Amino acid sequence: MLSINLVKNIYFFNIGGYGNDDNYFQWTSKFYNKNPHFQIKITRNPPHKNIFYTINNPDITIVYYAKDDTVFTIAGHPNLQSQLLEAMLEFLVDEFYEMYDSSLLTTCYGDTCDVFDGFSMVVLDLLNNFDEKNLIKITRVNCKGCDKKTQEVIIKKSLISNSNSSTTPLVFIHSGHALLIYIDKEFKVRGSQLVDVSY
Ligand SMILES: [Zn+2]
């Protein structure tokens, strides 16, 4: 079970146009008192589609993903692991295309669009009932860089189920260092090593 209160720690979720400022849907937490406009703007032009991108700033972590001509963006507290945000974003993208025909997106432009207002219910349901969606697994690893302290690592389930190999690599970046871990199909850590990173 996730021990994080997502209602308080997810700041906003946005759906908008690729390469432009069009807003199709915006949900902002009542616990987040900043205007997310500029953060959303920098996510609108990812170099590739269908790849998750992360921005990890001291005050916010943002994960975004472009599909066709639409960009999906989620953001929350900087301590949230990006695998958690990816799992949530993936779920919301799937739900969105299940609920709405993508041709509806072409009816929206500019800053205001109310076609997708009902999607707020889906966002709130995910925040309040995250565990029952079964999107992640939490595993433990002893980290050499943390003086062998046990760290909890969140893994989105689709990372493992979509992987062709019996062990899937994941780089867990935390406290100024990076641990490369290998996860098996049962979400157990089969090996780990500290690796150098360059930002
Ligand atoms: Zn560590």
* Same domain, yes or no: 124 and 183: no
Q: What is the mean pLDDT of residues 15-34?
A: 94
Range in 36-40, 107-111, 147-151 with the lowest mean pLDDT: 107-111
Instruction: Kindly report the CATH number assigned to the domain that includes residue 115.
Output: 3.30.450.50
Q: Return the pLDDT at 177.
A: 95
What is the number of other CB atoms lying within 10 angstroms of the CB of residue 32? 17
55 occurs within a structural domain: yes
Distances (CA, A) of 196 to 25, 102, 133: 39, 42, 35
In a shared domain, residues 46 and 121? yes
Determine the distance separating the centroid of ligand 1 and the alpha carbon of 174, expressed in angstroms. Answer: 6
Same domain, yes or no, for 83 and 13? yes
**145 plus 170 within the same structural domain:** yes
> Near ion ligand 1, which residues have CB within 5 Å?
143, 145-146
Distance 66 CA to ligand 1 centre (A): 31
- Could you tell me the distance, in angstroms and rounded to a whole number, from the CA of residue 149 to the centre of ligand 1? 7
Query: 116: domain range?
Result: 6-133
- 121 and 143 housed in the same domain: no
Q: pLDDT-based confidence at 112, cuts 50/70/90?
A: confident
Q: Are residues 127 and 144 in the same domain?
A: no
Q: Per the structure, how many domains does the chain have?
A: 2
- 65: CA distance to ligand 1 center in Å? 27
- In this structure, the answer to whether residues 38 and 96 fall within a common structural domain is yes
Kindly state whether residues 101 and 167 are assigned to the same domain: no
Distance 142 CA to ligand 1 centre (A): 8
Q: Tell me the average pLDDT across 65-85.
A: 97
CA 131 / ligand 1 centre spacing (Å): 26
Q: How far, in Å, from the CA of 129 to the mean position of ligand 1?
A: 30
What is the pLDDT of the chain when averaged over all its residues? 95
Instruction: Please check whether residue 1 lies inside any domain of the structure.
Output: no
pTM for this one?
0.95
Q: Give the integer Cα–Cα distance in Å for 61 and 189.
A: 25
Measure 30 CA to ligand 1 centroid, in angstroms.
Answer: 33
How many angstroms is it from 151 CA to the middle of ligand 1? 7
- Together in a domain, 124 and 30: yes
User: Cα(114) to centroid of ligand 1, in Å?
Assistant: 45
Q: What is the pLDDT of residues 28-63, one digit of tens each?
A: 999 999 999 999 999 999 999 999 999 999 999 999
